[in-house]
Amino acid sequence: MSTPATASTIKPPAVKQPSTNRGLREIITPHRSYRRLPVTSTGALTTIPVVLLVELAVILCAQRALDAMSAFASFVAAHENIATRPFADPFLFVTTHPMTFAMRHSDWIELCTVMFVCLVAVVALSIWTKIAAPIRFFVNLNLLLIAGAALYLLLVGRLGYDSAAFSELMVRTALFTWLIMPLFVGLFASLFPFTIWQRLLFIVITVAYDVPLSIVRYGLFVAILGKTSSIAMTDLYLVFGPLLDAIPIICFFSLFLVRVARSLEERRAVWGWL
């Protein structure tokens, strides 16, 4: 049962207090066409010591990583019963251990068959439009590289790279990639409002990810080439070589940008006007 209202129980209506400096206290987020990000030259310049630090770490750890690369490839080759013979190759500030490994020889019948199959597949994929165009184009690029290698082998007799030269190329490519990657990632990082720790983490994580990627890939390439022949060598190197190293950079980049976007959303005051 409700209590009847008396003069003492009735609350006076709330009086709206006039706000002081209301306009100044409100954060007016600018329209997207007028926004700027909270980036300064000083912040961007902090990328330089970070890159140098990671470069130093790469130089210090390169020998171990390259040894691990050779060891893993030897392990995979042994597992696949592929005969290998490592050799020392002093290069820049490290001694790499590329290897000679057994590769099957392709006769002209096999080469012609590969070429024919690849070209038929290219034509079929060009006509058959049920598969999304980008996938068809990507498959076609791989097929054309393989068909080109088969044609070259048919005409010249051998590719420019034997197993030792290819192994050396792979190892040197890995080293150069690790050296170039921090500079490259630093260029990306310098543009955005990352904290110095985010910059460091972004650069370290991309290089750290690339080391096991290079090790595993090298082992796989040795296994694939040891089981097949040099026909696939060009495709492996050009499509799944340095180009593949660059792709994870963009994946990490997008993850870090999402983090920045969240932080900007939480701190709306950081948006700059014109």
Partner 1 sequence: MVVALLQTWTWIVVGIMMVYAFRHWRFTWNRISARQRPYYQDLLDSELPHVTVIVPMHNEAQVAKKLLEALIDSNYPRELLEVIPVDDQSGDATPALVYEYSQQYSFIRPIYNLQGERGKAHALNRALSLASNEIVLVFDADYTPGRDLIRELAMAFIDPEVGAVMGRVVPRNSAVNLLTRLLSLERSGGYQVDQQARYNLDLFPQYGGTVGGFRRSVVVEMGGFDALTLAEDTDLTVRLFIDGWRVLYANRAECYEEVPENWNARFTQLRRWARGHNRAFFAHIVPLMRSRKLSFVQKVDGALLLFIYTVPPVLLSGIAVNALLFYMGAIPVVPGIIFAFFVVAYNAFGNFAPVFEVGAAELLDGARERLLLLPYLFYLFLFNSWAVTTGAIDAFGDFVKTRKANWDKTKRAGAANAAP
Structural tokens at position 26: 């409100």
Cα dist. 206→46, 53, 246 in Å?
18, 14, 9
Please state, in angstroms and rounded to a whole number, the distance separating the CA atoms of residues 134 and 138.
6
The answer to whether residue 243 forms part of the interface with partner 1 (CB under 8 A) is: yes
Give least dist CB 250 to partner 1, A. 5
DSSP run (H or E) holding 192: none
Structural tokens at position 84: 């290998």
DSSP run (H or E) holding 95: strand 94-96
Please state, in angstroms and rounded to a whole number, the distance separating the CA atoms of residues 234 and 165.
13
The answer to whether residue 16 forms part of the interface with partner 1 (CB under 8 A) is: no
Please state, in angstroms and rounded to a whole number, the distance separating the CA atoms of residues 158 and 229.
11
Q: Which of 152, 198, 208, 270 binds partner 1 (CB under 8 A)?
A: 152
Cα dist. 80→94, 214, 243 in Å?
28, 19, 27
Single out the segment in contact with partner 1 by CB under 8 A; choices: 47-55, 67-75, 109-117, 234-242: 234-242
The answer to whether residue 33 forms part of the interface with partner 1 (CB under 8 A) is: yes
Give least dist CB 234 to partner 1, A. 5
The answer to whether residue 165 forms part of the interface with partner 1 (CB under 8 A) is: yes
Number of shown-chain residues binding partner 1 (CB under 8 A) = 63
Can you give the binding site for partner 1, defined by CB under 8 A? Answer: 31-37, 39-41, 44, 129, 132-134, 137-138, 141, 145, 148-149, 152, 156, 159-161, 165, 169, 172-173, 176-177, 180-181, 184, 187-188, 191-192, 233-234, 237-238, 241-243, 245-247, 249-251, 253-255, 257-258, 260-262, 264-265, 274
